[in-house]
């Protein structure tokens, strides 16, 4: 294990379909081209495994984020750059995640995108179901999303192109962590 | 990330103070000398973080092992050799762990050591507390330990020296996984 290399966690928060995972996938490609070791820890992936026992009520969402942060920490401990993509709608949970991982290696990306644009994208068709009432507590519709008070970076995926978003992220991350 | 390299999980099961973590620490050193990337996932470590909400009743122990297996899987997905050290006293939980991780990359090490020897070692002083009734459901005393039915390797840490145990492990693992 490369002991000298300190892992970091880049945490993406934002509405469903705001572009968190898309950004992370493209950022991973860029970082890997720079020979960085990257791990994409995705909300859906975790919900299908480790967190399959959790639902979408507020207390389950909190536990979902707590476990995600603990796992991100373990991965970062092994020297990886962890790209963690979680809606993580509550400020308190994001602060807890930061405390678990450690402020000096936690980088919060607010993937900002207007609800209307997210709903138009509706990558997984879930906004539609939420509007029809088939899904309850859906973030942005009948579930709240608290904008981060102190993000390290805000990326507006409605206003910038994907390429611009990823470049901006890469520059910011490289300058902050010198990865 | 080294995509060609497939991660594996070496799962150590056995009584408290049987030598699981000691073996794993020394095996890690050997593997790292061979330039392997290794991650030690320890029961105590997980219980102080991710699994801090769980106790020691049978259902909590099962959930402890389920989450441990999910995390070991994530770490192995990133190409690491994971050394997972968990008492994991129940056969059913170990089989579940194997199913979560995948049979082709799960290697079960039964750290076999007579209860009397473990109790004499009593690394953390917990056997003493269990005998005094200060700890309940302690594996080996008033909590059951089911010996694995199909371990990939059995290491008796009472009969072999530490060096012999680690060498045997290394040979077996290298031959099975060609890591």
Q: What percent of chain B has pLDDT over 90?
A: 84
Q: Which residues contact B145 (CB under 8 A, 6 or more apart)?
A: B15, B87, B89, B139
Decide if A165 contacts A157 (C-beta within 8 A).
yes
B92-104 per-position pLDDT tens digit: 999 999 999 999 9
Q: What is the pLDDT of residue B178?
A: 64
**Tens-digit pLDDT profile for residues A120-173:** 999 899 999 999 999 999 999 999 999 999 999 999 999 999 999 999 999 888
Q: Which residues of A78-90 are buried (b: 16+ CB within 10 A; e: fewer)?
A: bbbbbbbbbbbbb
Q: Give the pLDDT of residue B133.
A: 93
Question: Reduced to 3 states, what is the DSSP secondary structure of residue B112?
Answer: strand
Instruction: Give chain B's largest Cα–Cα span.
Output: 52
Answer whether B50 sits within 8 Å of A41, measured CB to CB.
no
The b/e string for B15-24 (b: 16+ C-beta within 10 A; e otherwise) is bbbbbbbbbb
Which pLDDT value is given to residue B1? 40
Cα separation, A164 vs A155, in Å, equals 10
Mean pLDDT score, A17-28 = 96
Angle made by CA atoms A101, A137, A50, in degrees to the nearest 5: 40
Confidence of residue B34 (pLDDT cuts 50, 70, 90): confident
**What confidence tens digit (pLDDT) does each residue in A55-107 have?**
988 899 999 999 999 999 999 998 899 999 999 999 999 999 999 999 999 99
| Residue pair B71/A71 in contact by the 8 Å Cβ criterion | yes
Name the token pair of A152.
């390290």
> Is the model's pLDDT at A1 over the cut of 50?
no
Q: Where are the alpha helices (DSSP H) in A3-159?
A: 20-33, 43-48, 58-77, 91-101, 115-121, 126-131
Distance from CA of A6 to the nearest CA of B (A): 14
- Per the CB < 8 A criterion, the answer to whether A106 and A97 are in contact is yes
In order of A15, A28, A62, A139, B1, the CA distances from A57 in angstroms are 16, 31, 9, 11, 35
B162 pLDDT higher than 80: yes
What rounded mean pLDDT belongs to chain B? 92
List residues in chain A touching B: CB distance below 8 A.
1-2, 32, 37-39, 41, 49-50, 53, 63, 67, 70-71, 73-75, 78, 80, 100
Structure-model confidence comparison of residues A34 and A112, the more confident one? A112
Q: How far is B27 from chain A (nearest CA, A)?
A: 13
Q: Is B10 helix (H, G, I), strand (E, B) or coil?
A: strand
% of chain B exceeding 70 in pLDDT: 96
Contacts of B54 (CB under 8 A, 6+ apart): B47, B60, B61, B63, B64
Please tell me the distance from the alpha carbon of residue A118 to that of residue A153, in angstroms, as a whole number. 19
Cβ–Cβ under 8 Å, residues B107 and B152: yes
pLDDT at A179: 53
Buried-exposed string A149-160: b where 16+ CB fall within 10 A, e elsewhere = eebebebbbeee
Q: Which residues of B lie inside 8 Å of A (Cβ-Cβ)?
A: 1-2, 32, 37-39, 41, 49-50, 53, 63, 67, 70-71, 73-75, 78, 80, 100
Instruction: Let me know the angle formed at the C-alpha of B27 by B24 and B33, rounded to the nearest 5 degrees.
Output: 140
Backbone Cα Rg of chain A: 16
d(CA A157, nearest CA chain B) in Å:
27
**Are A8 and A107 contacting, i.e. CB atoms less than 8 angstroms apart?**
yes
pLDDT over threshold 60, residue B4: no
pLDDT at B2 over 60: no
Distance (Å, rounded) from C-alpha A117 to C-alpha B90?
Answer: 50
B64 pLDDT above the threshold of 90: yes
Q: What pLDDT band is residue A36 in, cutting at 50, 70 and 90?
A: confident
| pTM as predicted | 0.88
Q: What is the pLDDT of residue B179?
A: 53
């Amino acid at each position: 294990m490369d002991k000298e290399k300190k892992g970091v966690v880049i945490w993406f928060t934002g509405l469903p379909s705001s572009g968190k995972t898309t950004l992370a996938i493209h950022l991973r490609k860029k970082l890997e081209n720079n020979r960085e070791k990257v791990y994409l820890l995705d909300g859906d992936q975790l919900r299908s495994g480790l967190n399959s026992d959790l639902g979408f009520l507020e207390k389950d969402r909190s536990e979902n984020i707590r476990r995600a942060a603990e796992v991100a920490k373990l991965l970062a401990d092994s020297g990886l750059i962890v790209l963690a993509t979680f809606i993580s709608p509550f400020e308190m949970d994001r602060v807890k995640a930061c405390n678990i991982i450690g402020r000096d290696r936690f980088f919060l990306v607010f993937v900002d995108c207007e609800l209307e644009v997210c709903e138009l994208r509706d990558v997984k068709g879930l906004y539609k179901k939420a509007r029809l009432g088939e899904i309850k507590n859906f973030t942005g519709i009948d579930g709240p999303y608290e904008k981060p008070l102190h993000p390290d970076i805000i990326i507006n995926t409605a206003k910038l192109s994907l390429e611009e978003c990823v470049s901006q992220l890469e520059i910011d991350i490289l300058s902050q962590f010198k990865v």
